[in-house]
């Protein structure tokens, strides 16, 4: 290719760049994968170390966050006697491996939630950050329409 034919070089470069997102989009999870309503269980893993922990039926509502395309807001409710009770809302960011995580702190606890979406299932864990011990595991799925 001669220096007088930059059009061909730019055309080839454009085709490569245009094709790249299509190839990777099929491999990489999108924010849309986590959005919506999820129902399932949040179970205590180590009641000896965390005696205040209780197994719960949970409902998560996940919606986009305005901060970035790799951020979502997750509202967590527990279900008690058939009634949803608000527990909290956290911002989650997507990590390089496709997992979603959030670090939070209360006056009595500091922890990291990490969840992963695989199709219609969401699984994850809550880790106590000072000790590195797992507190909870969650297993949820999207309700059938």
Give per-residue pLDDT as tens, 41-50: 999 999 999 9
Look at strands 100-105 and 71-80 and give their pairing.
Answer: unpaired
pLDDT tops 90 at residue 53: yes
Q: Count the neighbouring beta carbons within 10 Å of the beta carbon of residue 26.
A: 6
CATH fourth-level superfamily of 31-141: Quinohemoprotein amine dehydrogenase alpha subunit, domain 2 (2.40.128.120)
The average pLDDT across 33-37 equals 95
Q: Where are the chain's structural domains? A: 31-141
pLDDT reading at 25 higher than 50: no
Can you tell me the mean pLDDT for 35-55?
A: 96
Does the pLDDT at position 103 exceed 90? yes
pLDDT in tens, 59-102: 999 999 987 889 999 999 999 999 999 999 999 999 999 999 99
**3-state secondary structure string across 39-68:** EEEEEECCCCCCCCCCCEEEEEEEEECCCC
């Amino acid at each position: 290719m001669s220096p007088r034919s930059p059009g061909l070089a730019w055309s080839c470069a454009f085709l490569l760049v245009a094709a790249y997102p299509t190839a990777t989009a099929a491999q990489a999870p999108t924010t849309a994968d986590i959005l919506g309503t999820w129902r399932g269980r949040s179970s205590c893993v180590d009641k000896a170390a965390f005696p205040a922990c209780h197994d719960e039926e949970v409902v998560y509502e996940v919606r986009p966050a305005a901060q970035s395309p790799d951020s979502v807001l997750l509202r967590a409710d527990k279900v008690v006697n058939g009634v949803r009770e608000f527990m909290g809302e956290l911002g989650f960011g997507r990590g390089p491996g496709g997992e979603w995580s959030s670090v939070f702190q209360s006056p009595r606890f500091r922890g990291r939630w990490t969840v992963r979406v695989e199709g219609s299932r969401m699984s994850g864990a809550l880790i106590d950050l000072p000790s590195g011990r797992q507190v909870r595991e969650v297993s949820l799925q999207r309700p059938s329409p």
